[in-house]
Amino acid sequence: MMQFLLHPPRFLFFTGKGGVGKTSIACSSALQLAGEGRRVLLVSTDPASNVGQVFGVKIGNQVTPLTHASPNMFALEIDPQAAAQAYRERMVAPVRGVLPEAVVKSIEEQLSGACTTEIAAFDEFTALLVESERTASYDHIIFDTAPTGHTIRLLQLPGAWSGFLDTSKGGGSCLGTLSGLEKQRTQYKSAVNALADPLRTRLVLVARAQQATLREVARTHEELASVGLLKQHLVINGVLPAGEVDQDELATAIYRREQAALSAMPEVLKGLPQDQVELKPFNLVGLNALCQLLELKSATTPEPQIALPEALVAPDLSSLVDEFAGDGHGLIMLMGKGGVGKTTLAASIAVELADRGLQVHLSTSDPAAHLADTLEGSRENLTVSRIDPEAETERYRRLILETQGVHLDAEGLALLEEDLRSPCTEEIAVFQAFSRIIREASDRFVIMDTAPTGHTLLLLDATGAYHREVTRQARNKDMAPLTPLMQLQDQGETKVIIVTLAEPTPVLEAAGLQADLRRAGIEPWAWVINNSVAAAMPHSPLLRQRAQNELREIEAVATLHAKRFAIVPLLKQEPVGKDQLLALSKPLSIKSQA
């Protein structure tokens, strides 16, 4: 059995970078514990939860029995947006008609950002961490996606519960109105205590054998440890078995790359209890797949003879670049689930355009971006920048403290400073920097490597809010200024590219992202299927099985989802440096013969 499931406490939290397999491992763990006769409640707090897809049932925001999986299995998907709306109403209702309307509107504005959504989701499952009739029947409660260190810090803040309430008149924070929060003080305190108690809670950090992913999970480890969540386990998911390297150059290259990343993992992770989960030949959907995921040696082996097309004939990345290069300028935004390779593809497109003599500004709003490592130095015609969330947020924090904070006492100032460490603040600060950069697209190409899907949509929410406010304030509607949202909605100025992998969950989430963008009036211009095993024409039985599985998802993208698309193969070498980045956009038929 995996170490992280030995003598499990009542609560298990699975967290990690997008695309590493948190949901699959959480579902498989729940199934294994239920199979041992324990009653298990599986809870997802992911806005793009796919627990229902994994089990093949509709779950939603209510406890749902998974009797087809096990009579001991139950699941719940917390809807963060619905939770945020209910939370806002609960916080504001007590002060309506009591405080001036302007104060009430100010409180509602405070509760409109990302911080409130995060707190509201936490508020939903704090009840699951406290002993009650609702949870008494479950032996284990498993959470797919853990709270962040910021959430826990905020709930521990003494000023939110005591003196500040007495000295302020209807005061509030991104937690909500303090008078409303007073009623929840005991529940929050019990929940935070449960999270910090290693006898009751275990955190499982999920990663891949990739340097960038391991660096990010190390940051998560340190953040959570700093607020007292010390009982952590590390799971490295999807590691290629050594037995696949014989007579396959691609498998050999992948294996060596992964082993090098594991050898060089951050020191803070090396001391954690660690498990490795082998890459499986099948997609992780359905009960059979979940039952085999955590087996130390898979009971299912790839078929020895798997028929694949002699060559995968499909559009390549260069064909997309050909289409928009003729404009001479414009904004190109790459969006998608975390872990699909947006940074690498953004760099590849930028290098390709710059190599054609066009002026390019490549930038990222992803907190975990590694453009400098990918590009390996400066390039002619290419400017590279990063919207550093920490730097932009610090600049914004100083501005607020120098203006709004000068008249506060020590306790009020402490609360304001904690508020300014919330995701709300980062969202505003990053949006301001984002708006500055995309204005450059009028005379050059601006390529934005955005953050993972959830962060991107929050950024677009901020863009939409700005657009509505500017339009509302404009006296002459015909003279209203061009806003960032208008620029994003204009395909003549902006081309949104959705990046995905040829796997069921990434394709499903990419389709969900496309629907969200369309609701905002933004039409995606193209899809890119990245790291395609099928396009790489492997010889390894395991990789050939995965390649065969990809063909169905490629067909779905081509026929159901995308107006235009391109496929980028999984390369033998890490796509770092100009030559390898340019190799990503070469015709597929040429690659397969190389």
Q: Residues with catalytic annotation?
A: 19, 21-24, 46, 505
Quote the CA–CA distance of 543 and 549 in Å, as a whole number: 10
| Nearest-angstrom CA–CA distance, 363 and 580 | 20
Distance, CA of 405 to CA of 230 (rounded, Å): 34
User: From residue 543, how far is each of 91, 280, 431, 449, 594 by CA, in Å?
Assistant: 52, 9, 41, 29, 18
Cα dihedral 281→71→23→82 (10° resolution): 150
φ/ψ bin of 16: left (φ > 0), alpha (ψ from -120 to 50), beta (otherwise): left
| Interacting residues of 163 by C-beta distance below 8 A, sequence separation 6+ | 411
Residue among 252, 227, 230 at smallest CA distance from 241: 252
3 state DSSP class of 200: coil
Phi/psi at 363 (5° precision) = -140, 160
Q: What is the DSSP letter of 539?
A: -
Q: What is the CA radius of gyration of the chain?
A: 25
Is 420 in a helix, a strand, or coil?
Answer: coil
Spatial contact of 40 and 33, defined as CB atoms under 8 Å apart: yes
* Tokens at 202, concatenated: 């275990």
Return the ∠ at Cα 457 (arms to 566 and 472), rounded to 5°. Answer: 125
* CA pair distance 255, 241, nearest whole angstrom: 8
Identify whether the C-beta of residue 454 lies closer than 8 Å to the C-beta of residue 447.
no
Burial profile 250-263: b = 16 or more Cβ within 10 angstroms, e = fewer? bbbbbbebbeebbe
